[in-house]
Amino acid sequence: MSLLEVKGLHAHYGKSHILHGIDMEVPESSIVSLLGRNGSGRSTLLKAMMGLVPPTSGTVTLDSQPLAGQRPYAICRQGIGYVPEERLVFPNLTVDENMSMGIQKGAPGAHHWSVEEMYDYFPRLRERRSIRAGYLSGGEQQMLTICRSLLGNPRVLLIDEPTEGLAPRIVEVVMEVILDIGRRGVAVVLVEQKLTIALKVAQQVMVMGHGELVFRGTPAELDANRDVRRNWLEVA
């Protein structure tokens, strides 16, 4: 049974038509990797689901409750968390204070996360809990953004390019955290440019091109589909 459903979703930036009737389903406790070249519409799809880009038509439902057209804070309260590519920490607040900004009661049925669990995931943040977030490295800011979103106790977590620009050691840590999030019952929609990472963590992969879904299947099915990878993922 699908937890998050998107049907016939269209979205525009001004006169530019970005999403062209997207249909997708995200089962409970699953990790779905959303792949595609830059400009394919992946980040816009996450923002439309989160209410940051108002859909021009179509529906988004979480456990059969309609979300499309609601404000981002209302969508968050109903159980969707969002980790933006830009990280967007509060630079003048400490790590602890940034964590506290994300805490909310959470939706019924969601795993309830604690600050100590976040520090168990990322011990480096525990060491720097009194440091202002603006002084953290890019990898540490990414860790903090994931933690702040989880502390809202979402049922679905939308993550946009979490490994972009990170050192390989930090990438491995972030991957393990994403896998554990899924094991604890949180559904994840992951936008990821690195194919090897996307295939390793996901049960289902979807490929976008020109604002449409051009493939959906298992990682093994995508790995075996040379035409899809050549036409929609590889750089010429």
The predicted pLDDT at position 236 comes to 57
* Domain definitions of the chain by residue range: 2-232
With cut-offs at 50, 70 and 90, classify the pLDDT of residue 61. very high
pLDDT value, residue 231: 93
- pLDDT confidence bin for 234, thresholds 50/70/90: confident
pLDDT in tens, 157-171: 999 999 988 889 899
What 70-78 contacts at long range (C-beta under 8 Å, 24+ apart), as own/partner pairs, is: 75/49, 75/50, 75/51, 76/50, 76/104, 76/152, 76/154, 77/104, 77/107, 78/107
Using alpha carbons only, what angle is made at residue 180 by residues 175 and 185, rounded to the nearest 5 degrees? 130
Give the CATH fold of the 2-232 domain: Rossmann fold (3.40.50)
